[in-house]
Structure 1
Amino acid sequence: MSKAEYSYPEDEFDVPSNPDVPRGVHRAPRSAWSRWWPFAVVLVVAPVLAFTLVNLAARDGNLPALPGTSNPAVEPSPEAPTEGETAAETPPVEEPVAPQPVMDTPIVVLNAAGIGGLAAEQAEELTTAGFTAVTTGNIEATTDDSVVYYASEDQKVTADLVAQTLGVATVTAGAPNGGTAITVVLVTDPDA
Protein backbone atom coordinates (compact mmCIF):
# COMPACT_ATOMS: atom_id res chain seq x y z
CA MET A 1 0.00 0.00 0.00
CA SER A 2 1.36 3.41 -0.93
CA LYS A 3 1.01 6.62 0.97
CA ALA A 4 -1.52 7.90 -1.53
CA GLU A 5 -3.79 4.94 -0.86
CA TYR A 6 -3.57 5.43 2.90
CA SER A 7 -7.12 6.27 4.03
CA TYR A 8 -6.44 7.53 7.54
CA PRO A 9 -5.57 11.17 8.37
CA GLU A 10 -2.09 12.04 9.70
CA ASP A 11 -1.84 12.25 13.46
CA GLU A 12 0.86 13.42 15.88
CA PHE A 13 2.98 10.28 15.34
CA ASP A 14 3.14 10.75 11.58
CA VAL A 15 4.51 14.33 11.73
CA PRO A 16 7.54 14.50 13.99
CA SER A 17 8.63 17.79 15.49
CA ASN A 18 12.27 16.72 15.47
CA PRO A 19 13.82 14.80 12.58
CA ASP A 20 15.68 12.48 15.00
CA VAL A 21 12.54 11.20 16.74
CA PRO A 22 10.70 8.14 15.55
CA ARG A 23 8.30 8.61 12.69
CA GLY A 24 5.43 6.22 12.92
CA VAL A 25 6.86 2.80 13.52
CA HIS A 26 10.19 3.66 11.91
CA ARG A 27 13.03 5.85 13.10
CA ALA A 28 14.62 8.63 11.20
CA PRO A 29 18.00 7.84 9.64
CA ARG A 30 21.03 8.57 11.82
CA SER A 31 23.35 11.41 10.92
CA ALA A 32 26.85 10.68 9.60
CA TRP A 33 28.48 12.19 12.68
CA SER A 34 26.62 9.86 15.05
CA ARG A 35 27.91 6.89 13.05
CA TRP A 36 31.56 8.06 12.83
CA TRP A 37 32.32 9.61 16.25
CA PRO A 38 33.26 6.29 17.96
CA PHE A 39 35.86 5.64 15.26
CA ALA A 40 37.23 9.18 15.66
CA VAL A 41 37.66 8.59 19.39
CA VAL A 42 39.52 5.35 18.81
CA LEU A 43 41.75 6.82 16.08
CA VAL A 44 42.62 10.10 17.84
CA VAL A 45 42.11 9.88 21.59
CA ALA A 46 43.43 6.36 22.18
CA PRO A 47 46.90 7.03 20.60
CA VAL A 48 47.22 10.32 22.51
CA LEU A 49 46.38 8.54 25.75
CA ALA A 50 48.85 5.72 25.02
CA PHE A 51 51.60 8.24 24.16
CA THR A 52 51.00 10.06 27.45
CA LEU A 53 51.12 6.85 29.50
CA VAL A 54 54.35 5.69 27.85
CA ASN A 55 56.01 9.04 28.52
CA LEU A 56 54.96 8.95 32.17
CA ALA A 57 56.32 5.42 32.58
CA ALA A 58 59.59 6.38 30.85
CA ARG A 59 60.03 9.31 33.19
CA ASP A 60 59.94 6.91 36.16
CA GLY A 61 62.15 4.32 34.43
CA ASN A 62 59.53 1.59 34.86
CA LEU A 63 59.31 0.49 31.24
CA PRO A 64 59.63 -3.25 30.78
CA ALA A 65 62.27 -4.35 28.28
CA LEU A 66 61.41 -6.74 25.51
CA PRO A 67 63.20 -10.10 25.68
CA GLY A 68 66.59 -9.88 24.03
CA THR A 69 66.78 -6.06 24.19
CA SER A 70 68.30 -3.68 26.64
CA ASN A 71 66.47 -0.96 28.51
CA PRO A 72 68.37 2.34 28.16
CA ALA A 73 66.49 3.76 31.14
CA VAL A 74 68.05 1.09 33.37
CA GLU A 75 71.48 0.60 31.84
CA PRO A 76 73.79 3.60 31.89
CA SER A 77 75.00 4.75 28.51
CA PRO A 78 78.75 4.91 27.99
CA GLU A 79 80.10 8.39 28.47
CA ALA A 80 81.83 10.19 25.65
CA PRO A 81 85.61 10.16 25.97
CA THR A 82 87.06 13.29 27.52
CA GLU A 83 89.97 15.21 26.14
CA GLY A 84 93.09 13.06 26.16
CA GLU A 85 91.15 9.79 26.19
CA THR A 86 90.41 7.59 23.24
CA ALA A 87 87.17 5.78 22.57
CA ALA A 88 89.02 2.42 22.62
CA GLU A 89 89.93 2.74 26.31
CA THR A 90 87.83 0.68 28.67
CA PRO A 91 86.84 1.87 32.13
CA PRO A 92 89.02 0.56 34.95
CA VAL A 93 87.93 -2.68 36.55
CA GLU A 94 87.33 -2.48 40.29
CA GLU A 95 89.89 -4.41 42.27
CA PRO A 96 88.55 -7.14 44.55
CA VAL A 97 88.46 -6.24 48.21
CA ALA A 98 91.46 -7.60 50.07
CA PRO A 99 90.65 -10.08 52.85
CA GLN A 100 90.68 -8.61 56.33
CA PRO A 101 92.38 -10.19 59.36
CA VAL A 102 90.08 -12.13 61.67
CA MET A 103 90.79 -10.86 65.16
CA ASP A 104 89.10 -13.78 66.97
CA THR A 105 91.33 -16.42 65.33
CA PRO A 106 92.94 -18.62 68.01
CA ILE A 107 96.62 -17.67 68.49
CA VAL A 108 99.11 -19.66 70.55
CA VAL A 109 102.32 -17.86 71.61
CA LEU A 110 105.05 -20.39 72.50
CA ASN A 111 108.24 -19.48 74.35
CA ALA A 112 111.21 -21.39 72.88
CA ALA A 113 113.80 -18.87 74.08
CA GLY A 114 113.84 -19.92 77.72
CA ILE A 115 113.25 -16.29 78.80
CA GLY A 116 110.73 -16.19 81.65
CA GLY A 117 107.44 -14.40 80.80
CA LEU A 118 108.35 -13.82 77.11
CA ALA A 119 105.24 -15.58 75.75
CA ALA A 120 102.94 -13.73 78.20
CA GLU A 121 104.54 -10.37 77.30
CA GLN A 122 104.07 -10.96 73.55
CA ALA A 123 100.52 -12.28 74.11
CA GLU A 124 99.74 -9.01 75.92
CA GLU A 125 100.95 -7.05 72.85
CA LEU A 126 98.60 -9.10 70.64
CA THR A 127 95.68 -8.52 73.01
CA THR A 128 96.42 -4.78 73.01
CA ALA A 129 96.41 -4.87 69.17
CA GLY A 130 92.85 -6.30 69.24
CA PHE A 131 93.28 -10.08 69.05
CA THR A 132 90.78 -11.79 71.34
CA ALA A 133 91.79 -15.50 71.55
CA VAL A 134 95.45 -15.49 72.59
CA THR A 135 96.98 -18.25 74.76
CA THR A 136 100.59 -18.95 75.83
CA GLY A 137 102.85 -21.93 76.37
CA ASN A 138 106.39 -23.28 76.14
CA ILE A 139 108.13 -25.38 73.48
CA GLU A 140 111.61 -26.65 72.61
CA ALA A 141 113.38 -24.60 69.96
CA THR A 142 113.50 -26.30 66.53
CA THR A 143 114.63 -23.28 64.47
CA ASP A 144 117.16 -20.47 64.84
CA ASP A 145 114.63 -17.68 64.16
CA SER A 146 111.22 -16.82 65.55
CA VAL A 147 108.40 -17.94 63.23
CA VAL A 148 104.65 -17.36 62.87
CA TYR A 149 102.88 -20.49 61.57
CA TYR A 150 99.39 -20.53 60.08
CA ALA A 151 97.28 -23.65 59.49
CA SER A 152 95.29 -22.68 56.37
CA GLU A 153 95.41 -20.10 53.56
CA ASP A 154 92.44 -18.17 54.96
CA GLN A 155 94.61 -17.41 58.04
CA LYS A 156 97.49 -15.90 55.98
CA VAL A 157 96.33 -12.28 56.34
CA THR A 158 95.80 -12.67 60.08
CA ALA A 159 99.20 -14.40 60.48
CA ASP A 160 100.89 -11.53 58.61
CA LEU A 161 99.29 -9.03 61.02
CA VAL A 162 100.44 -11.11 64.02
CA ALA A 163 104.01 -11.16 62.68
CA GLN A 164 103.92 -7.42 62.00
CA THR A 165 102.57 -6.69 65.49
CA LEU A 166 105.26 -8.75 67.20
CA GLY A 167 108.12 -7.85 64.85
CA VAL A 168 108.65 -11.44 63.61
CA ALA A 169 110.08 -11.61 60.09
CA THR A 170 109.17 -15.19 59.08
CA VAL A 171 105.59 -16.33 58.34
CA THR A 172 105.17 -19.96 57.24
CA ALA A 173 102.27 -22.29 56.40
CA GLY A 174 101.80 -25.35 58.60
CA ALA A 175 101.60 -25.43 62.38
CA PRO A 176 104.39 -27.19 64.32
CA ASN A 177 101.93 -29.03 66.56
CA GLY A 178 99.40 -29.80 63.77
CA GLY A 179 96.71 -27.57 65.30
CA THR A 180 94.33 -25.18 63.61
CA ALA A 181 95.45 -22.05 65.46
CA ILE A 182 98.07 -19.53 64.40
CA THR A 183 101.21 -20.48 66.32
CA VAL A 184 104.00 -18.06 67.23
CA VAL A 185 107.30 -19.74 68.18
CA LEU A 186 109.61 -17.23 69.87
CA VAL A 187 113.29 -18.24 69.77
CA THR A 188 114.48 -14.75 70.74
CA ASP A 189 112.86 -11.69 72.27
CA PRO A 190 111.51 -9.67 69.30
CA ASP A 191 111.59 -6.45 71.35
CA ALA A 192 115.32 -6.78 72.13
Structure 2
Amino acid sequence: MNDYPYPKDEFDEPPAPGQPVGVHLPRRGTWDRLRAFVIVLLIASLLAYGIVWWFSTQTTDKDDAAAPTTTSAAPVDPTDAATTDEGTEEPTDEGTAPEESEEPTDEPTDEETTEEADELDRSVAIRVLNSTSISGLAGTAAGALVDDGWSGAEAANFTGTPPSVTSVWYQSEEYADEAEAIAESLGVAEATLVDTLVGPISVILRPDYAG
Protein backbone atom coordinates (compact mmCIF):
# COMPACT_ATOMS: atom_id res chain seq x y z
CA MET A 1 0.00 0.00 0.00
CA ASN A 2 1.39 3.40 -1.02
CA ASP A 3 1.21 5.96 1.76
CA TYR A 4 2.93 8.85 -0.27
CA PRO A 5 0.55 11.72 0.28
CA TYR A 6 1.62 13.92 -2.63
CA PRO A 7 0.75 13.53 -6.27
CA LYS A 8 3.44 12.34 -8.61
CA ASP A 9 5.52 14.89 -10.50
CA GLU A 10 8.35 14.81 -13.00
CA PHE A 11 10.87 13.75 -10.35
CA ASP A 12 8.84 10.61 -9.58
CA GLU A 13 9.10 9.46 -13.15
CA PRO A 14 11.97 7.03 -13.92
CA PRO A 15 14.84 8.72 -15.75
CA ALA A 16 15.48 8.23 -19.41
CA PRO A 17 18.41 6.10 -20.42
CA GLY A 18 21.72 7.97 -19.99
CA GLN A 19 20.36 10.68 -17.64
CA PRO A 20 21.43 11.02 -13.96
CA VAL A 21 19.15 9.70 -11.33
CA GLY A 22 17.59 12.06 -8.77
CA VAL A 23 18.93 15.62 -8.33
CA HIS A 24 22.52 15.00 -9.57
CA LEU A 25 23.67 17.47 -12.21
CA PRO A 26 25.77 16.54 -15.21
CA ARG A 27 29.62 16.63 -14.64
CA ARG A 28 31.09 20.06 -15.37
CA GLY A 29 33.95 20.55 -17.85
CA THR A 30 37.54 21.59 -17.01
CA TRP A 31 37.02 25.27 -17.96
CA ASP A 32 33.94 25.51 -15.78
CA ARG A 33 35.99 24.33 -12.83
CA LEU A 34 38.98 26.68 -13.56
CA ARG A 35 37.15 29.80 -14.67
CA ALA A 36 36.50 31.19 -11.19
CA PHE A 37 40.13 30.57 -10.18
CA VAL A 38 41.45 32.38 -13.27
CA ILE A 39 39.15 35.34 -12.64
CA VAL A 40 40.27 35.60 -9.01
CA LEU A 41 43.93 35.33 -10.06
CA LEU A 42 43.55 38.18 -12.62
CA ILE A 43 41.80 40.42 -10.12
CA ALA A 44 44.51 39.76 -7.52
CA SER A 45 47.25 40.53 -10.08
CA LEU A 46 45.62 43.84 -11.06
CA LEU A 47 45.24 44.84 -7.43
CA ALA A 48 48.88 44.00 -6.69
CA TYR A 49 50.07 46.01 -9.72
CA GLY A 50 47.94 48.97 -8.70
CA ILE A 51 49.30 48.93 -5.15
CA VAL A 52 52.93 48.73 -6.36
CA TRP A 53 52.37 51.56 -8.85
CA TRP A 54 50.77 53.77 -6.17
CA PHE A 55 53.64 53.25 -3.73
CA SER A 56 56.26 53.95 -6.45
CA THR A 57 54.64 57.27 -7.39
CA GLN A 58 54.48 58.34 -3.76
CA THR A 59 58.17 57.54 -3.24
CA THR A 60 59.21 59.50 -6.39
CA ASP A 61 57.26 62.59 -5.29
CA LYS A 62 58.93 62.50 -1.87
CA ASP A 63 62.40 62.20 -3.40
CA ASP A 64 61.74 65.15 -5.73
CA ALA A 65 60.51 67.28 -2.85
CA ALA A 66 63.51 66.43 -0.68
CA ALA A 67 66.15 66.97 -3.39
CA PRO A 68 67.84 70.45 -3.06
CA THR A 69 67.58 72.85 -5.96
CA THR A 70 70.94 73.59 -7.54
CA THR A 71 71.81 76.23 -10.07
CA SER A 72 74.69 75.99 -12.47
CA ALA A 73 77.14 78.85 -12.69
CA ALA A 74 79.71 79.60 -15.35
CA PRO A 75 83.25 78.51 -14.41
CA VAL A 76 85.39 81.33 -13.07
CA ASP A 77 88.99 81.71 -14.10
CA PRO A 78 90.98 82.26 -10.88
CA THR A 79 93.42 84.46 -12.73
CA ASP A 80 90.71 86.92 -13.84
CA ALA A 81 90.37 88.65 -10.48
CA ALA A 82 91.30 88.24 -6.83
CA THR A 83 88.20 88.39 -4.58
CA THR A 84 87.86 89.03 -0.86
CA ASP A 85 84.94 89.22 1.58
CA GLU A 86 84.61 92.92 0.85
CA GLY A 87 84.08 92.44 -2.88
CA THR A 88 85.98 92.15 -6.12
CA GLU A 89 89.41 93.70 -6.35
CA GLU A 90 91.41 94.70 -9.34
CA PRO A 91 93.11 91.93 -11.38
CA THR A 92 96.35 90.80 -9.80
CA ASP A 93 99.72 91.01 -11.49
CA GLU A 94 99.92 87.24 -11.62
CA GLY A 95 98.80 85.92 -15.00
CA THR A 96 98.46 89.35 -16.60
CA ALA A 97 100.73 90.96 -19.12
CA PRO A 98 102.67 93.98 -17.82
CA GLU A 99 101.66 97.30 -19.20
CA GLU A 100 104.11 98.89 -21.52
CA SER A 101 105.42 102.13 -20.13
CA GLU A 102 105.62 105.00 -22.50
CA GLU A 103 109.06 106.52 -22.26
CA PRO A 104 109.43 110.10 -23.40
CA THR A 105 111.36 110.53 -26.60
CA ASP A 106 113.93 113.20 -27.25
CA GLU A 107 112.53 113.93 -30.69
CA PRO A 108 110.40 117.08 -30.68
CA THR A 109 106.84 116.79 -31.95
CA ASP A 110 105.39 118.96 -34.69
CA GLU A 111 103.54 120.98 -32.07
CA GLU A 112 106.72 121.62 -30.08
CA THR A 113 108.59 122.62 -33.25
CA THR A 114 105.81 125.07 -34.13
CA GLU A 115 105.87 126.58 -30.63
CA GLU A 116 109.64 127.05 -30.79
CA ALA A 117 109.35 128.66 -34.21
CA ASP A 118 106.73 131.08 -32.91
CA GLU A 119 109.04 132.09 -30.05
CA LEU A 120 111.89 133.03 -32.42
CA ASP A 121 112.47 136.64 -33.37
CA ARG A 122 112.34 136.32 -37.13
CA SER A 123 112.83 140.03 -37.62
CA VAL A 124 116.33 139.95 -36.07
CA ALA A 125 119.05 141.60 -38.20
CA ILE A 126 121.04 139.00 -40.17
CA ARG A 127 124.11 139.91 -42.26
CA VAL A 128 124.71 137.33 -44.98
CA LEU A 129 128.36 137.86 -46.04
CA ASN A 130 129.90 136.49 -49.21
CA SER A 131 133.46 135.30 -48.62
CA THR A 132 133.81 133.47 -51.98
CA SER A 133 134.55 134.36 -55.58
CA ILE A 134 130.98 133.40 -56.56
CA SER A 135 129.13 136.56 -57.46
CA GLY A 136 125.64 136.95 -56.01
CA LEU A 137 126.00 134.03 -53.58
CA ALA A 138 125.16 136.19 -50.54
CA GLY A 139 122.05 137.57 -52.23
CA THR A 140 120.86 134.04 -53.02
CA ALA A 141 121.37 132.88 -49.42
CA ALA A 142 119.69 136.01 -48.02
CA GLY A 143 116.70 135.43 -50.32
CA ALA A 144 116.42 131.84 -49.08
CA LEU A 145 116.29 133.09 -45.49
CA VAL A 146 113.62 135.65 -46.34
CA ASP A 147 111.57 132.92 -48.00
CA ASP A 148 111.94 130.92 -44.77
CA GLY A 149 110.42 133.82 -42.77
CA TRP A 150 113.56 135.72 -41.70
CA SER A 151 112.64 139.24 -42.75
CA GLY A 152 115.83 140.92 -41.43
CA ALA A 153 118.28 139.10 -43.79
CA GLU A 154 120.55 141.40 -45.91
CA ALA A 155 123.41 140.48 -48.29
CA ALA A 156 126.92 141.98 -48.23
CA ASN A 157 130.59 141.09 -48.81
CA PHE A 158 132.85 139.83 -46.05
CA THR A 159 136.03 141.69 -45.10
CA GLY A 160 138.71 140.40 -42.82
CA THR A 161 139.91 136.89 -42.08
CA PRO A 162 137.12 134.42 -42.91
CA PRO A 163 136.52 131.06 -41.22
CA SER A 164 137.57 127.90 -43.03
CA VAL A 165 133.98 126.75 -43.59
CA THR A 166 130.58 128.42 -43.83
CA SER A 167 129.62 129.59 -40.35
CA VAL A 168 126.83 131.28 -38.42
CA TRP A 169 128.03 133.66 -35.71
CA TYR A 170 125.89 135.28 -33.04
CA GLN A 171 126.74 138.15 -30.67
CA SER A 172 125.21 136.89 -27.34
CA GLU A 173 123.11 134.17 -25.80
CA GLU A 174 120.09 136.34 -26.46
CA TYR A 175 120.29 135.30 -30.14
CA ALA A 176 121.36 131.66 -29.63
CA ASP A 177 118.02 130.12 -30.62
CA GLU A 178 117.68 132.28 -33.74
CA ALA A 179 121.27 131.51 -34.78
CA GLU A 180 120.72 127.75 -34.42
CA ALA A 181 117.50 127.97 -36.48
CA ILE A 182 119.29 129.95 -39.22
CA ALA A 183 122.16 127.47 -39.29
CA GLU A 184 119.69 124.62 -39.69
CA SER A 185 117.89 126.46 -42.47
CA LEU A 186 121.14 126.98 -44.44
CA GLY A 187 122.53 123.51 -43.75
CA VAL A 188 125.33 124.74 -41.49
CA ALA A 189 126.55 122.31 -38.83
CA GLU A 190 126.31 124.67 -35.86
CA ALA A 191 126.25 128.27 -34.74
CA THR A 192 129.17 129.90 -32.86
CA LEU A 193 129.10 132.54 -30.15
CA VAL A 194 131.37 135.50 -31.08
CA ASP A 195 130.99 138.30 -28.56
CA THR A 196 133.02 140.79 -30.65
CA LEU A 197 130.53 140.56 -33.50
CA VAL A 198 129.17 143.93 -34.67
CA GLY A 199 125.58 142.84 -35.42
CA PRO A 200 123.32 140.27 -33.73
CA ILE A 201 123.86 137.47 -36.29
CA SER A 202 126.22 137.05 -39.24
CA VAL A 203 126.37 134.29 -41.83
CA ILE A 204 129.80 133.92 -43.51
CA LEU A 205 129.55 131.97 -46.75
CA ARG A 206 132.58 129.90 -47.84
CA PRO A 207 133.12 127.74 -50.93
CA ASP A 208 131.69 124.67 -49.13
CA TYR A 209 128.24 126.31 -49.02
CA ALA A 210 125.96 124.23 -51.21
CA GLY A 211 123.43 126.99 -51.74
Query: What is the TM-score with the length of structure 2 in the denominator?
Result: 0.42
Higher fraction of helix: 2
